[in-house]
Chains A and B, each alone.
Chain A
Amino acid sequence: MYQYDEFDQRIVDERAAQFRDQVRRRMRGELTEDEFKPLRLQNGLYLQLHAYMLRIAVPYGLLSSAQVRKLAHIARTYDRGYGHFTTRQNIQFNWPKLEDVPAILEELASVQMHSIQTSGNCVRNVTSDPFAGAALDELEDPRPYCEILRQFSTFHPEFSHLPRKFKIAVTGASHDRAAIAVHDIGLRIVRVDGALGTEFWVGGGQGRTPLLAEKIRDFVPMRDLLSYTEAVLRIYNEHGRRDNKHKARIKVLVKEIGVPEFRRRVDEEFARIKDEPGLVLEERELDRVRAFFLPLPYDATATGDLAALGLHKDRTLARWVKNNVLPHRRPGYAIVQLSLKAPELPPGDVTHAQMDAIADLSDRYAMGMVVVTHRQNLVLRDVKIADLAELHTELTALGLATPNVGRASDVIACPGLDYCDLANARSIPLAMAVQERLRPIEEEHELGDLFINISGCINACGHHHVGNIGILGIDKQGEEFYQVMLGGSHTEDAALGKVLGKALTGTEVVDGVERLVTRYLELRHDEEETFLAAFRRVGNDPFKEALYGAHSTTASV
């Protein structure tokens, strides 16, 4: 993985020292809260409902075991013993004291981490495929390009005050595990006539105005990755709306002026800057960054039959292999997903003891790396098939082997009103109630892929728009209600869910989701037909009836 050079290290060290001074001045009253707020937000420190929240960047979700141990130490020493992995492959601590945050930033800097650009109207953490470098369907490892974009966008003087926040996702595989269609810029690496480049998708996003990204270029050579990205950002920076926060994302600009005009403006700017020194991605620079992501020292003698393990007589092991383990591009290896959706635990939460244990397991079994997924799970990317049974035993003891990744009880949920100052309704208790209700059905039937996403407000941190079943918390006269939408997808067949009808109470939603899943079981052709495929085949009405009752198909929305 990428290693900081002396300049990187100096930047994060100095940033921590600067924040220590800023906190000191705030505590002494030398800075007002209005003066201090932008400074803390620039370091990812939010004031939430009950406490401060520190959001820490995990570039493209990749962590070393040393970094995971440091996060465990921070959770134990400065917080309440746990951390929360987010849908943007980051981690958040929910209870830091203000006076401790400078020390936390220093601890982070000591393992090449920080919380810079995890808030504010700037380019946020670049996200990617959690299986990058190991996926069977990968054309090109996207991580070097993510890292190049990270370096390009960090402290970019021109893009520190964009109209709104800006999110970039990169995939190098045919199956989109990075949800590029719902990002401000989504990059899909492609090869055309032997040359490596990328598709440019622009203007996707969720939130108040959910829109899928539009492809504005089929192929941009890698040489021009930065200049074309810069051109997109410049057009957005110049023409994006600043008069209305809710209309300030690039998706609104693309929609308002249309793709052809947006493309024309970007191409015009690109033509002007494409050969500027510093914007041309030289092969030498690419090689320098790629060197950090070279294939690991895999054991050439490793063997194993993953398919056979999926049929193992130990049915618990077999089920875990079937649901949580994926083939690796290297013979004898597998990709292992650690479920953070165990019963009775908030989705995405990991205790300090679990973090320490995960770090140890990654050293023993997975070459010292852990990856955060946008589905709020973790990945040990490079595990020998021969070690899987032993690893399964270890993970089971830690509560990290729930065999449900990508299944109904693998519910994504934002922190919701339990923590978040912006939320309208709680997400976590609802997610846990839905998980509890669906778990017996999941154990009895092979439900296949079924993605349930819950957001506590329209900002959509739980990505409800792209859930097969999406649930959105709303506020009605001070009370929490939930809208249910169906048909969303975050992959290469990206789609936005459609609201089925009137909002329901939390209890009604739990009952309703159970009925939706039961209706799917009744409707599907066979176990191969997923919930989404069945929904696309039969449409809204059978599900609407299941949710609201027999007369619901004519009910007003």
Chain B
Amino acid sequence: MSKPVPHFVVTANRLSDGLVLYAGPGPSWVPSFDRAEMTADGGRRDELLAWAKGDVLHACGAYVVDVGVEENGEPKLSQRERLRAAGPSMVLQRLHLTPPELAARTASAPLERG
């Protein structure tokens, strides 16, 4: 059985409000993990990171996220990166303060992965 190939995405926070961004095709900034450019190529990873770090007018805190592979082939992220991708669990909904656009991407995550 072949060893899973490591994949990477590049992420950062938007300078204006700190919201999570991902480096997407182009490269360009996209707001969701699903639209991020995922690469197994170390050279492309470094290019994306350099672009992200260079875009100082729009983003800050850029770094590379290691993406594993679940048994079903889906991307596997750490809990931290899952939360970054999904937004705070439960918190906003409980306060009934979630703006509709955020509610759509905010998971009500259980304490463990289901």
Contact A419–B97 (Cβ < 8 Å): no
Interface flag for B111 (CB, 8 Å): yes
Give Cα A28–Cα B88 distance, bound, in whole angstroms: 30
> In the complex, what residue of chain A is closest to B90 when comparing beta carbons?
A429
Give Cα A32–Cα B60 distance, bound, in whole angstroms: 9
Interface flag for A433 (CB, 8 Å): yes
Interface flag for A18 (CB, 8 Å): no
Interface flag for A277 (CB, 8 Å): no
Size category, A interface: 35 or more
From A32, A80, A506, give the contact of B92 (CB < 8 A). Answer: A80
For the complex, would chain B's binding face be called helix, strand, loop or mixed by DSSP majority?
loop
Give Cα A50–Cα B20 distance, bound, in whole angstroms: 6
Give Cα A82–Cα B91 distance, bound, in whole angstroms: 11
Interface flag for B89 (CB, 8 Å): yes
Interface flag for A364 (CB, 8 Å): no
Contact A80–B15 (Cβ < 8 Å): no
Question: 1/0 per residue B1-45: CB within 8 Å of A?
Answer: 000000000000101111110000000000000000000000000
Contact A47–B61 (Cβ < 8 Å): yes
From B60, B79, B112, give the contact of A507 (CB < 8 A). Answer: B112
Interface flag for A192 (CB, 8 Å): no
Contact B112–A345 (Cβ < 8 Å): no
Chain A-chain B contacts (Cβ-Cβ < 8 Å), number? 105
Cβ–Cβ < 8 Å partners of A430 in chain B: 111
Assuming A33-B60, A418-B88, A506-B112, is B83 touching A49 (CB within 8 A)?
Answer: yes
Question: 1/0 per residue B34-70: CB within 8 Å of A?
Answer: 0000000000000000000000110011000000000
Q: How far apart are A422's CB and chain B's nearest CB, in angstroms?
A: 10
Interface flag for B95 (CB, 8 Å): yes
Cβ–Cβ < 8 Å partners of A505 in chain B: 111-112
Question: 1/0 per residue A11-51: CB within 8 Å of B?
Answer: 00000000000000011110011000000000000011111
From B16, B87, B90, give the contact of A98 (CB < 8 A). Answer: B16
Give Cα A14–Cα B27 distance, bound, in whole angstroms: 41
From A50, A80, A423, give the contact of B19 (CB < 8 A). Answer: A50
Contact B18–A510 (Cβ < 8 Å): no
From A81, A428, A479, give the contact of B91 (CB < 8 A). Answer: A428
Cβ–Cβ < 8 Å partners of B89 in chain A: 418, 426, 429
Contact B79–A478 (Cβ < 8 Å): yes
Interface residues of A in 168-221 (CB under 8 A from B): none
Give Cα A81–Cα B95 distance, bound, in whole angstroms: 9
Q: How far apart are A172's CB and chain B's nearest CB, in angstroms?
A: 36
From A47, A418, A426, give the contact of B13 (CB < 8 A). Answer: A47
Chain B residues with a Cβ closer than 8 Å to the other chain, count: 32
Q: How far apart are B86's CB and chain A's nearest CB, in angstroms?
A: 10
Q: How far apart are A198's CB and chain B's nearest CB, in angstroms?
A: 40
Interface flag for A344 (CB, 8 Å): yes
Interface residues of A in 49-96 (CB under 8 A from B): 49-52, 80-82, 95
Question: 1/0 per residue A87-130: CB within 8 Å of B?
Answer: 00000000101110000000000000000000000000000000
Q: How far apart are A142's CB and chain B's nearest CB, in angstroms?
A: 34
Cβ–Cβ < 8 Å partners of B19 in chain A: 50-51
Contact B17–A29 (Cβ < 8 Å): no
Give Cα A81–Cα B97 distance, bound, in whole angstroms: 7
Give Cα A418–Cα B91 distance, bound, in whole angstroms: 8
From A48, A52, A432, give the contact of B90 (CB < 8 A). Answer: A432
Q: How far apart are A102's CB and chain B's nearest CB, in angstroms?
A: 13
Contact A419–B88 (Cβ < 8 Å): yes
Contact A47–B111 (Cβ < 8 Å): no
Question: 1/0 per residue B75-114: CB within 8 Å of A?
Answer: 0011111011001111110110101000000000101110
Cβ–Cβ < 8 Å partners of A426 in chain B: 79, 83, 89, 111
Cβ–Cβ < 8 Å partners of A27 in chain B: 15-16, 57
Cβ–Cβ < 8 Å partners of A506 in chain B: 111-112
Q: How far apart are B104's CB and chain A's nearest CB, in angstroms?
A: 15
Question: 1/0 per residue A427-439: CB within 8 Å of B?
Answer: 0111011000000
Cβ–Cβ < 8 Å partners of B94 in chain A: 344-346, 432
Q: How far apart are A74's CB and chain B's nearest CB, in angstroms?
A: 15
Assuming A51-B17, A475-B79, is B91 touching A346 (CB within 8 A)?
Answer: yes
Give Cα A397–Cα B29 distance, bound, in whole angstroms: 45
Give Cα A97–Cα B18 distance, bound, in whole angstroms: 7
Contact B79–A50 (Cβ < 8 Å): no
> In the complex, what residue of chain B is closest to A433 when comparing beta carbons?
B111
Cβ–Cβ < 8 Å partners of A48 in chain B: 18
Give Cα A507–Cα B111 distance, bound, in whole angstroms: 6
Give Cα A103–Cα B75 distance, bound, in whole angstroms: 41
Cβ–Cβ < 8 Å partners of B81 in chain A: 478
From A97, A423, A479, give the contact of B17 (CB < 8 A). Answer: A97
Assuming A50-B87, A50-B88, A418-B88, is B95 touching A99 (CB within 8 A)?
Answer: no
List chain A positions with a Cβ less than 8 A from chain B.
26-29, 32-33, 47-52, 80-82, 95, 97-99, 344-346, 349, 351, 417-419, 423-426, 428-430, 432-433, 475, 478-480, 505-507, 510
A-B pairs with lowest CB-CB distance, top 8 = A506-B111, A478-B78, A418-B88, A51-B18, A52-B18, A97-B17, A33-B60, A81-B97
Starting from the known contacts A80-B99, A95-B17, 18 additional A-B residue pairs (CB-CB under 8 Å) come to: A26-B15, A49-B20, A51-B13, A80-B92, A82-B97, A98-B15, A98-B17, A99-B16, A345-B95, A346-B95, A351-B95, A418-B90, A423-B80, A425-B79, A432-B90, A432-B94, A478-B81, A480-B111
18 A-B pairs in the complex with CB atoms less than 8 angstroms apart: A26-B15, A47-B60, A48-B18, A51-B17, A80-B92, A81-B95, A97-B17, A98-B18, A351-B97, A417-B83, A418-B91, A419-B88, A428-B90, A429-B91, A430-B111, A478-B78, A478-B80, A507-B111
